[in-house]
């Protein structure tokens, strides 16, 4: 029994993604002049989706574990494609994360005035795709939603972005599409080489009939295909450019949720379905992620643009996620998923402070030009520092538990890599403190900053929600860890079995 | 032998012929004068007559095919069921007519695609006014459609040739219809290349005939030596003369479907022809060409199928198709990258799409019947999707160029702010061409990849995927122009109702059969029974 009981006759998971597809269609019929109405509809439905995800989160029965709320419909039966939805502990954490980020993201979008209608349509369509990915258990369906999440990004960045937006948008889209082309090859490989002729992931995972040799060929394609989206070295270059170019809510979604899609894909599709391929390739992936973690953090040190700092810090933190995935141990996987959650919330908070509260008012994000904003907007300063503390892995914040678990997990398998990666912790501290100092505490460099407009209630509430989740999970991570642990256990177990068998 | 009961089996073609003559004839009863008003009246009358007529014929063909509803055998006899029974008696199945024309499911589905394309094209032309001889303009579209339907069903060399010519000659005239410099160039270029390719094809046919006559020792009086299945029967284990004939036939048909290296004419023709005609040429005429190619290769040359597996000895037409698909995909997509003219860009994109269909033909490299059938289904599905998508794309472009006065990529700038519905329709079509889920273009490509992969041509699938990513760049350029770039003026772009409906119908189709592929896959599944196989 979950904490609450909900009827199982209702297709809850379909409702989740529909709850964002419906408003994106509705908004198309709202007259252009009614911008306030669009905002209310968009935010309202985002809230509904959050409520639905929380409902499922609490109704999930931890005693039974496994996949629950499963919906199965034939879609294209001739070639074994089903409409198959279901959630386990991993997807639950991701669902809640997405719900929180889209809701706060839409709160942060109330200042969009140019072409507001299109903005809301694309934004909601994007999150429809994200929700879809987290609940789908059919590889084909998974992929369809995945692509649905990528394309609106192009327009969102291209139209409402800043700083080299067209370049950023095109680069991002081409990188991600190249990744999905690799993933398609991996998918076809699984489909044909298992001989099962189905895309149903549950069936594929239950009987892994693919020979180890083919797993070795197709694992890197599927893994790297999704890893592109999670910003793994050497495919990370699109990510800081994309983050910087994107409008605030999109940066929040992008760094907060979309990059998690990639890591989620690696875990769910590649590692789950091809354990033997994973055994042989993960050490190599682990080495690559060192570069992410350390190099990403180092580059963040050298940036002058506050959004670039956050962008590279995302590369570094997602590197930790990928490293933990590559460790393949249960606690490592737990840490990876928890870090996805913690980093998602934290980055959303960062971007809402830097992109919305500061940039929209000062029109600059260059550290040397900012300064002393702590006096002008203390609230923003507090929020940024809270996010920063979590990012540094300070105990009491969500980030601490995640990084703690990650380092334990990685140590178990690759002690040397864990040691090298730990270098990133002081570097992270350094760049966060540097950013905090030069944005909020240095002397006021521009006298105009003293008369900036006040923060709006949307900014207050959005940031408060995010910050309180960071602290809540920091104080009592058991909320999430129990769920996540149940989700990752079968994958870790399977991986462990093949590793033992390989010795 | 042709019997009187065979008439219902070619009912769609007969009806098309009647309609074409009606369109031509009814023009006489219009008011003729040289004022613009009277000219417009004539254009409208002919356009409406052909649109309504084609719509009706489409419905009749659909009823006849029995795909939506087949009359049960024990249905009571009354006026309505009698009509329906007689109509469906000519439905799919029952061998070929005189060995020359098959009315199997493939033909039936092809008729629906082709007549549907003609219907949408003439709807696009409702507001796209040909300046002179309106009746001829519409009648030529319909005549050409008859030729295409015959192409789709032809199982005999002479009929194939006649049908190809019947299709092409009206199209030459249509391409040059505007009479300005570019349009005339398109017409004459199309004609010269077309005549050339016909000659090559004819030469291939004569060799095939010569081979067949020779195989019987020259003492045969049979008149069935041009039938595709007869050629296959006599071919035995294959023979160099037959191989040469096959290569020439592929080259001849290759011109019609504009695959590299026979594609040289198509960008100029597509750019110069009136845009709705471009839509028609690039969809219907191509689809018919593919069906001819399909029947030719699979029915007449099964002994030369060969293999396209990596590492195995290459040979036969599947490896030739694989090679053509390879260069078509690469050159088509790369050549589209630098184009500044949107129509020309779509022309190259349409060349590249031909590569995907060829990839479906490679499925025959697999010895398993199941894989081959999947290949056929994938090809037909691709043709349906491609037809709808391209009519949407060219139709949208036609509206823009009518309103803005040009069809360069920069003429699309800021379309989203000048006419959002039009921009969205055009964007959906373009994204479907690019293969973005959940639009139909994605599943079509995915299916083709699947059949290509299972036939052993996985290397080609990988290359096709890479070119898909490359193609995304130029499709995104169109999207960027429409949504991101600043418009030249904020004056709204006028979108005529008829064209909007045509484009809307195609986009709706693209969405529907993309999300629910089974709507058409269920029907297409029947094409497995191809006459002569």
Contacts of B517 in chain A (CB under 8 A): 76
Residues of B in contact with A199 (CB under 8 A): none
What is the ipTM, given to two decimal places? Answer: 0.89
Residue A73 β-bridge partners: A83
Contacts of B223 (CB under 8 A, 6+ apart): none
Cβ contact (<8 Å) for A75 and B518? yes
* Dist. CA A281–CA A283, nearest whole Å: 6
pLDDT at B491 (0 to 100): 84
Under an 8 A CB cutoff, do B420 and A147 touch?
A: no
Quick check: A75 contacting B, CB < 8 Å? Answer: yes
Report the residue from B462, B476, B525 with minimal CB separation from A154.
B476
CB B362 within 8 A of CB B321: yes
- Give the model's confidence band at B531: pLDDT under 50 very low, under 70 low, under 90 confident, else very high: low
B residues 432-471 closer than 8 Å to A (CB): 436-438, 442-443, 446-447, 449-450, 453-454, 458, 461-462, 465-466, 468-469
Q: Which of B368, B430, B480 to mutate to test the interface with A (most CBs of A within 10 A)?
A: B480
pLDDT tier, B237 (very low <50, low <70, confident <90, very high otherwise)? low
Q: What is the mean pLDDT of chain A?
A: 86
- What is the maximum alpha-carbon separation in chain B? 76
A76 → closest Cβ in B431, B442, B518: B518
Nearest to A188 among B437, B443, B450 (CB): B450
pLDDT band at B385 (very low <50, low <70, confident <90, very high): very high
Residue with the larger pLDDT of the pair B238 and B169: B169
User: Is B250 touching A (CB cutoff 8 A)?
Assistant: no
Cβ within 8 Å, pair B518-A159: no
pLDDT at B310: 66
pLDDT surpassing 80 at residue B35: no
For residue B101, report the phi and psi dihedrals to the nearest 5 degrees: -140, 120
Q: Which residue of B has its CA nearest to A146?
A: B437
In Å, how far is A413's CA from the nearest CA of chain B? 35
pLDDT at B5 over 70: yes
Round to whole Å and give the CA distance between B183 and B272. Answer: 4
Q: Provide the shortest C-alpha distance from residue B469 to chain A (in Å).
A: 6
Q: Which residues of chain A have pLDDT under 70?
A: 1-2, 503
Contact A166 B473 (CB under 8 A): no
To the nearest whole angstrom, how far is the Cα of B73 from the nearest Cα of chain A?
A: 28
CB atoms within 10 A of CB B204: 22
CB contacts, 8 Å: A147 with chain B: 436-437, 442
Q: What's the pLDDT at A292?
A: 85
The answer to whether the pTM exceeds 0.90 is: yes
Whether B461 and B389 have beta carbons less than 8 Å apart is answered as no
CA B65 to chain centre: 19
Give the whole-number percent of chain B exceeding pLDDT 90: 47
Short-list A382, A369, A376, A370, CA closest to A454: A376
What three-state secondary structure class fits B489? coil
Query: Mean pLDDT throughout B301-321?
Result: 78
Give residue A173's pLDDT. 87
Q: Which of A148, A158, A169 sits opposite B438 (nearest CB)?
A: A148
Q: Do B465 and A181 touch (CB under 8 A)?
A: yes
Question: Which chain A residue's Cα is nearest to B453?
Answer: A188
Lowest-pLDDT choice from A116-120, A362-366, B175-179, B262-266: A362-366
Q: Length of chain B in residues, anyone? A: 533
Q: Are B469 and A177 in contact (CB < 8 Å)? A: yes
pLDDT digits (tens, 9 = 90+) for B70-98: 888 888 888 888 888 888 888 887 778 88
What confidence score (pLDDT) does residue B250 get?
93
| pLDDT value at residue B512 | 92
pLDDT of residue A165: 82
On whether the CB atoms of residues A269 and A201 are closer than 8 A, the answer is yes
From the candidates A188, A191, A214, A218, which should be mutated to test the interface with B, based on the most B CB atoms within 10 A? A188
Instruction: Name chain A contacts of B458, Cβ cutoff 8 Å.
Output: 188
The reply to whether residue B472 touches residue A184, judged by beta carbons under 8 angstroms, is no
pLDDT at B492 over 90: no
pLDDT of residue A148: 87
Per DSSP, helices labelled H in A60-138 are 89-107, 116-135
Judged against a pLDDT cut of 80, whether residue B356 lies above it is answered with yes
Q: Are A265 and A145 in contact (CB under 8 A)?
A: no
B492 touches chain A (CB under 8 A): no
Annotate A212-242 with b (16+ C-beta within 10 A) or e (fewer): eebbbbbbbbbbbbbbbbbbbbebbebbbbb
- Count CB neighbours of B532 within 10 A: 20
What was the pLDDT predicted at B131? 67
A189 φ, ψ (degrees, to nearest 5) = -60, -50
A residues 169-198 near B, CB within 8 Å? 169-170, 173-174, 177-178, 181, 184-185, 188, 191-192
Q: pLDDT-derived band of residue B127, with 50, 70 and 90 as boundaries?
A: confident
Residue A449 distance to chain B (closest CA, Å) = 31
- Other C-beta atoms closer than 10 Å to the C-beta of A115 total 17
**Separation in Å, CA of B113 to nearest CA in chain A:** 22
Name the residue among A169, A181, A188 with its Cβ closest to that of B469: A181
Please report residues of A whose CB lies closer than 8 A to that of B449. 184, 188
* Helix, strand or coil, per DSSP, at residue A122: helix
Query: Pick from A140, A170, A185: which is nearest to B476 by CB?
Result: A170
Cα–Cα distance for residue pair B386/B144, rounded to 1 Å: 19
Segment 395-434 of chain B within 8 Å of chain A by CB:
416-417, 420, 431
Write down the pLDDT at residue B58.
95
Instruction: Considering only the beta carbons, identify the residue of A76, A178, A191 that sits closest to B521.
Output: A76
Residue A1: its pLDDT value, please?
54
């Amino acid at each position: 029994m979950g904490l609450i009981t909900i009827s199982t006759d209702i297709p809850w998971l379909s409702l989740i993604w529909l709850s964002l597809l419906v408003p994106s269609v509705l908004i198309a019929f709202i007259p252009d002049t009614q911008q306030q109405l669009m905002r209310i509809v968009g935010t309202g439905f985002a809230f509904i989706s959050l409520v639905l995800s929380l409902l499922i989160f609490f109704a999930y029965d931890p005693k039974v574990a496994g996949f629950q709320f499963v919906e199965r419909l034939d879609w294209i039966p001739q070639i074994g494609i089903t409409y198959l939805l279901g959630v386990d502990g991993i997807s639950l954490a991701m669902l809640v994360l997405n719900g929180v980020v889209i809701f706060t993201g839409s709160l942060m979008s109330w200042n969009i005035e140019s072409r507001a209608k299109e903005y809301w349509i694309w934004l909601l369509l994007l999150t429809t795709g994200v929700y879809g990915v987290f609940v789908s258990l059919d590889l084909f369906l998974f992929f369809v939603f995945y692509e649905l999440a990528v394309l609106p990004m192009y327009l969102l960045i291209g139209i409402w972005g800043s700083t080299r937006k067209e370049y950023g948008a095109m680069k991002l889209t081409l990188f991600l599409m190249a990744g999905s082309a690799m993933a398609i090859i991996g998918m076809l490989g699984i489909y044909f080489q298992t001989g099962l002729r189905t895309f149903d992931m549950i069936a594929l995972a239950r009987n892994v009939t693919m020979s180890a040799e083919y797993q070795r060929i197709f694992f890197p394609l599927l893994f790297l295909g999704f890893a592109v989206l999670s910003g793994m070295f050497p495919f990370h270059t699109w990510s800081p450019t994309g983050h910087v170019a994107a409008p605030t809510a999109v940066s929040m979604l992008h760094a907060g949720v979309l990059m998690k899609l990639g890591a989620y894909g690696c875990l769910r599709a590649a590692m789950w379905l091809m354990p033997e391929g994973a055994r042989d390739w993960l050490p190599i992936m682990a080495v690559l992620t060192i570069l992410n973690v350390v190099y990403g953090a180092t580059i963040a040190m050298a940036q002058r643009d506050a959004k670039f700092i956050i962008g590279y810090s995302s590369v570094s933190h997602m590197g930790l996620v990928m490293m933990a995935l590559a460790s393949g141990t249960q606690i490592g996987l737990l840490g990876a998923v928890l870090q996805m959650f913690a980093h998602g919330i934290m980055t959303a908070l960062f971007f809402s402070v830097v992109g919305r509260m500061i940039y929209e008012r000062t029109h600059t994000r260059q550290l040397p030009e900012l300064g002393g904003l702590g006096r002008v907007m203390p609230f923003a300063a507090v929020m940024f520092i809270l996010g920063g503390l979590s990012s540094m892995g300070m105990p009491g914040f969500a980030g601490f538990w995640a990084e703690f678990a990650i380092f334990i997990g990685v140590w178990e398998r690759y002690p040397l890599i864990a040691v090298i990666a730990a270098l990133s912790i002081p570097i992270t501290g350094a760049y966060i403190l540097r950013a905090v100092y030069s944005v909020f505490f240095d002397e006021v460099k521009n006298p105009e900053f003293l008369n900036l407009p006040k923060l709006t209630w949307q900014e207050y509430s959005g940031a408060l929600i995010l910050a309180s989740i960071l602290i809540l999970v920091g104080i009592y991570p058991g909320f999430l860890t129990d769920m996540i642990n149940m989700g990752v256990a079968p994958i870790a177990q399977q991986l462990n079995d093949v590793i033992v068998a390989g010795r | 032998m042709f019997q009187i009961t065979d008439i219902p089996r070619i009912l769609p073609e007969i009806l098309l012929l009647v309609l074409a003559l009606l369109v031509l004839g009814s023009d006489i009863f219009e008011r003729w004068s040289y004022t613009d008003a009277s000219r417009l009246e004539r254009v409208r009358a002919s356009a409406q007559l052909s649109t309504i007529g084609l719509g009706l014929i489409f419905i009749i063909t659909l009823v006849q095919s029995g795909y939506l509803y087949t009359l049960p055998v024990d249905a009571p006899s009354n006026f309505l069921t009698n009509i329906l029974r007689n109509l469906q008696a000519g439905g799919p199945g029952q061998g070929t007519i005189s060995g020359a024309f098959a009315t199997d499911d493939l033909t039936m589905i092809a008729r629906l695609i082709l007549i549907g394309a003609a219907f949408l094209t003439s709807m696009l032309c409702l507001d796209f006014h040909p300046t002179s001889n309106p009746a001829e303009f519409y009648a030529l579209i319909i005549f050409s459609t008859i030729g295409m339907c015959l192409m789709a069903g032809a199982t005999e060399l002479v009929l194939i040739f006649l049908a190809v010519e019947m299709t092409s000659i009206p199209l030459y005239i249509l391409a040059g219809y505007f009479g300005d410099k570019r349009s005339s160039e398109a017409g004459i270029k199309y004609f010269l290349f077309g005549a050339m390719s016909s000659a090559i094809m004819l030469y291939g046919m004569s060799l095939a005939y010569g081979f067949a006559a020779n195989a019987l020792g020259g003492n045969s009086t049979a008149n069935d030596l041009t039938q595709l299945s007869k050629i296959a029967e006599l071919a035995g284990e294959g023979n160099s003369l037959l191989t040469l004939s096959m290569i020439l036939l592929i080259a001849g048909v290759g011109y019609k479907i504009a695959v590299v290296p026979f594609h040289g004419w198509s960008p100029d023709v597509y750019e110069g022809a009136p845009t709705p005609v471009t839509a028609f040429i690039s969809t219907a005429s191509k689809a018919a060409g593919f069906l001819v190619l399909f029947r030719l290769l699979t029915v007449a040359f099964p002994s030369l199928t060969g293999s396209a597996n990596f590492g195995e000895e290459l040979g036969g037409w599947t490896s030739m198709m694989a090679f053509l698909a390879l260069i078509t995909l690469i050159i088509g997509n790369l050549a589209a990258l630098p184009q500044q003219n949107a129509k020309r860009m779509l022309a190259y994109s349409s060349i590249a799409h031909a590569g995907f269909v060829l990839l479906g033909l490679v499925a025959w490299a697999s010895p398993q019947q199941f894989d081959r059938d999947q290949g056929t289904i994938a090809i037909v599905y691709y043709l349906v999707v491609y037809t709808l998508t391209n009519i949407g794309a060219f139709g949208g472009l036609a509206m823009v160029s009518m309103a803005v006065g040009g069809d360069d990529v920069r003429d699309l700038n800021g379309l989203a702010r000048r006419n959002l519905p039009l921009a969205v329709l055009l964007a959906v079509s373009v994204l479907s061409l690019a293969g973005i889920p959940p639009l139909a273009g994605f599943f079509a490509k995915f299916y083709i990849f699947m059949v290509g992969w299972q036939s052993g041509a996985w290397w080609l699938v990988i290359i096709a995927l890479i070119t898909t990513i490359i193609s995304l760049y130029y499709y995104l350029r169109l999207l960027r122009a429409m949504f991101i770039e600043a418009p030249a003026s904020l004056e709204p772009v006028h979108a005529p109702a008829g064209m909007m409906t045509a484009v809307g119908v195609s986009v709706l189709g693209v969405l529907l059969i993309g999300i629910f592929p089974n709507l058409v896959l269920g029907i297409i599944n029947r094409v497995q029974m191809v006459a002569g196989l």
